[in-house]
Every structure is written in C-alpha cells, then in structure tokens.
Structure 1
Amino acid sequence: MSIKLIAVDIDGTLLNSQRQVTPEVFQAIQDAKAAGVKVVIATGRPIPGVLPLLEELNLNQDGDYVITFNGGLVQETSTGNELIRETLSYEDYLDIEVLANKLGVHSHAITKDGIYTSNRNIGRYTVHESTLVHMPIYYRTPEEVADKEFVKAMYIDEPEILDAAIAKLPQEFYDRFTIVKSTPFYLEILKKTANKGIAVTHLAEKLSLTKEETMAIGDEENDRAMLEVVGSPVVMENGNPEIKKIAKYITKSNDESGVAYAIRKWVLD
C-alpha cells in the first residue's frame, strides 16, 4: 500500500551539517506534496524554531500539520489549531528542577513562547537552544513560574556531565515521564503521554490512514517512538546505531540528501 504520511525529523535528518535544506530535499518534499502525500515535520524543537522551515518548505498551507516538542504539541500549521497539547504540571516542573540541582546538571523548561531557567549561571546549551529555536531566555526562580505551561523540560550540559546525571536518574522518573536523549548534550523530559510516536499515531488516525500508509524518517533516540509505530521506519546513514536496528530501510546521510533519497525510492518510485 502506498505511503500517504511521512513524519520527518529535523536535526541530523532533514537538515544537512550546515543546518540547511538541500535543493534535492526541497524538491522531493514538493513532489511528495504534489502526489498527495502529507509531509509532517516531527521535531523536539518548539514551534518558533520550526516556523522558518515550514515556510521554506511550503508546509504552512491548509491541510498541513506539524509535531513539535517531541510530540508534546501537534497543530495545524496554517491556523495554529492544536490537536494535541501535553504539558507538565507545576509539581512536575518542581520535581524536575529539584533533581537537576541534586544531580548538578544545568536545566531549563520551555513554554510555547520562551525558555525559562532558574540557573543564575545560565548554561551555554541553554543559550545554544535559544539561538537554534529563535526563543528568548528568561531567568526566573521556581516560585516565579507557577503560572507557566511548560511543554517540556531539559537537562542540558557537557556530555560527560549529562551522562553522569542520566546514570543517577531514579526509575520513578522513567515511570512518570517520557525521557529521551536527543543529542549528546540534551536530555528532554515530557509528560508521559507525549512522544513522537503517540503524535504520529493520532495524526494518522485523524487522517484515516493505516499503519502501512505511514513512514517516519529519523536519526536519534528521540525518534524511536515514531519509528516504532509506522509501517516504514527509515533511519539515516548518519543515525544512531541502536536506532538503525529498528529500521526497515537505511537511507543516505543528511549530507547526501537522505530524506530526498528515501522519498523518491520508497514513496514516489
């Protein structure tokens, strides 16, 4: 059965090492859209970090959708109408913050509009995230954010510091939250009912599509959930070796326009 929905990760997948969409990837996505295929960006980024790409790829029109915050938010791109919005409670935020301090790791939490950190010495990866996703940073104490709706929290630090913190995470946290490592310096913490897999499944059901009509393309651990729920999981050549184990197909690397190769070989061919 032909593929009618493709969920595509951004970093390490859609974009090359220069964080650009190659002409080959651009054209493949346009050809897929012209063939009636839904191409849906599925990313850990918040919505402001995706808007320029949606515009560049013409994925901001009626009938287009986007998955952000690793599945915490699913919305129509043209109207902003939300299909899924999963947020952390204030109690969740406080517990995540307390544990970050205990483990000695930098942290921040993100709403639809900004990045909030209680780290007086703001971590450099918080600054990196702000630049990457075009969102402002706000220094606020935990008491000052009781009214905020955080879609996700992040532990962000040098890889060796972050890995040491991850090794000490209590099982109770894994039972309570969705926890995914998206880069060597990012650990993302979301509501238990939020992940890319749940988001893709919900969207496919809304569009009356079967599992066999869905494809996902990704490269990292935070893509696992969506790769596991689609009929055609595709992993980039530059992808995590553990994630490659669950792939039906391995496409070319992000620097070789692997998304374009996958679309042309397994969707449009």
Structure 2
Amino acid sequence: MYKLIAIDMDGTLLNDRHEVPGEVKAALAEAKRQGVKIVLCSGRPIGGMRSYIDELILNEIGDYAIAYNGALVQNTHTKEAISEISLGHKDLVKLYNLSNELNTPMHFFDAENLYTPNADISEYTILESYLTKVPLHYRTVNEIPVHVSIPKIMYINDPANIDRIVQALPEDLSEQYTIVQSAPYFLEFVHPNVSKGNAVKMLTEELGIKKEEVMCIGDNENDLSMIQFAGCGVAMGNAIPEVKAAADFQTLTNNENGVAHAIEKLILEASKV
C-alpha cells in the first residue's frame, strides 16, 4: 500500500488551463481519506503553490509541500520549513555573468519575491510572475543584499535558445549546481544537494515511510529524480521520453485527468480488493 504520493504540478496535476480538474480533486480527496499523504512537489515557489494547496485542503495537520524543485520542504499547516537549501550572492553573480556571456535573460527568487537583473524584462519572466502570483521586481545584481538566500535561479528563453544554452554551459557547472529543465523555456539552477528526489527522500525518512510505499508522478526533467527514487514512478502521458523510460507506470495526459487515472488504478482499485 502506498502511504505518500508526491505530485508535480505544471503538466501533471494541472491541465493546460492551470486548473485542477474535478476528477483529479476527487481522486486526491479519496486517497487522502484513506490515509495517503498527498505532497505537491513543484519547481514553483511556495507562494505560487499556496492557492492550490488551499483548494485541495492540503494544509491540515501533517500536510507538507515541496517547492523550488526541492530547495524547500514545508509543513503547510504550521508554515515551518522542514528543509531549506539555498544559493547565495556569489552564485547569483557567477550565473548572471554567465547569462551575459550566453546572451540569455535570467531571473531568481528569494523567499517572497521574483527578481530580474534585466532592464528589458523577458516575457518568460512576466509569465513566471503571472503563473506563480509572486511579485516581480527589477534589481541590478549590485542592489541585491550580499546575505541574500536564493532558492532558485533561472535562465529563460525561447526553446531553441534554451537548447543552445544547455550545449554551451561550462562542463564543470553541473558539479556546482543541480541544473534541470522544467519547461521548454526554463532552465533552472539550484544547490547541488537539491532535487525533487532528494526532497522526497528526506521527507519520507522524516515520516518513517519506506521507499516502496512512495509513488511519484511527473512529466518533465525536473521530475526525473523523484520518479527514479519512488517505489512506483508514474509518467504522465505528456511526459518527456526520459521520464517515461524511468517510470514504472504510464498514465494519461494532464488534460485527460492522468493523475486521477493513476491513483484510481494503483491505489483506489487496489484498496477494494
């Protein structure tokens, strides 16, 4: 029996209208009623997850969420950080200078806000602020306090340019950061110890839940580590090939209630036997 389900949001939990379909809500509510912990696990900042956490009533005693691709694990009832691993000002300067060399816009988060050092603000930065409902500010790197705590830094660009940037990254950069693509136009940098898989592992150990009792559902590169960690990794029908190859089960797409289909097949039907 699975005791915890970690679920990605964009492209997984949410349909393309950024809504949680009714069928998905019902499946999550029934799984929770049966004692399964539902943990939203997203690249989004925690503020950009909050409305969905509240909508799904995942803010009760013993509820948790994972934000910033694993940089923050939070008790959603008390708002206490169970784990918080961030980058610093030196990382910001390094990745900003590299973004200039690669001719790509960037943005980054602190605990409450989204910032861009680019005076010509990218449409993808505006999209990020809109989707996550996090306030956006223009700040030069020199205006950012040296003691800043940065959960995540992102390069943003057209998909073809993101592919070019990935190819042009210095080889040793992957030793200094966890680098993942969460969307065709987002390339994300977090602390090297941070990943969704590591965050799910830490939380399950904290809760005394075994690996084989964990299900993880996702669609993109930043979900791969938790798909590989899980006792049952579930790939969405719209997942990238690498996620499908690593998964134990493939469900329907995010526009076909894929999360509900997986929960029905792997948890709710099994509980009736």
Task: Report what 1:173 is aligned to.
Answer: 173
Q: Cα offset for 1:147?
A: 3.4
Deviation at 1:158, TM superposition (A): 1.0
Using the TM superposition, give the Cα deviation of residue 211 of structure 1 relative to its aligned residue in structure 2, in angstroms.
0.7
Counterpart-to-counterpart distance in 2, 1:12 and 1:117: 25
AA matched with 1:241: P
Shift of 1:144: 1.0
Task: Give the SS at the match of 1:245.
Answer: helix
Unmatched 5+ residue regions in structure 1? none
How far is the alpha carbon of 1:19 from its aligned partner?
Answer: 1.2
The aligned counterpart of 1:159 is 159
Structure 1 residue aligned with 2:141: 142
Tell whether 2:151 aligns with 1:184.
no
- 1:91 alignment counterpart: 90
Match of 1:110? 109
What secondary structure, in the 3-state scheme, does the structure 1 residue paired with 2:38 have?
strand
Normalized against structure 2, the TM-score is what? 0.97
2:63, 2:76 within 8 Å by CA — same for their partners in 1?
yes
Structure 1 letter corresponding to 2:243? I
Query: What is the TM-score with the length of structure 1 in the denominator?
Result: 0.98
The letter of the residue matching 1:179 is I
Determine helix, strand or coil for the equivalent of 1:14: coil
Offset of 1:93 from its aligned partner?
Answer: 1.1
- Shift in Å at residue 148 of structure 1? 2.1
| Match runs of 1:189-268 below 5 Å | 189-268=189-268
Moved over 3 A (4+): none
Alpha-carbon displacement from aligned partner over 1:73-111 (angstroms, at most 9, x marks no partner)? 000001110111011021111101110011000001111
Amino acid at match of 2:105: H
| Distance across 1 between alignment mates of 2:59 and 2:173 | 36
- For 2:21 and 2:116, how far apart are their aligned partners in 1? 35
The residue type equivalent to 1:67 in the other structure is I
| Residue correspondences, number | 268
Structure 2 counterpart SS, 1:59: coil
- What does 1:5-154 correspond to in 2, within 5 Å? 5-145=4-144, 146-154=146-154
Unaligned residue ranges in structure 2 (runs of 5+): none
| Identity rate, percent | 42
Contact 2:224 2:242 in 1 (8 A): no
Q: How far does the alpha carbon of each residue in 1:176-197 deviate from its partner, in whole angstroms, 9 at most, with x for none?
A: 1000001110000000011100
Q: Which moved more, 1:136-145 or 1:174-183?
A: 136-145
Counterpart Cα distance in 2 of 1:123 and 1:57: 32
Query: In structure 2, what is the Cα distance between the partners aligned to 1:258 and 1:137?
Result: 32
Output one character per residue of 1:35-62: Cα deviation in whole Å (capped at 9) or x when no partner.
0000000000001110000011010111
- Name the aligned partner's letter for residue 22 of structure 2: P
Q: Please give the per-residue CA displacement for 1:87-141, whole angstroms capped at 9, x wherever unaligned.
A: 1021111101110011000001111211111101011100000000001111111
- Distance, in Å, in 2 between the alignment partners of 1:72 and 1:103 is 25
- Post-superposition Cα deviations, 1:222-243, rounded to whole Å, max 9, x if no partner, equal 0001111110000001111121
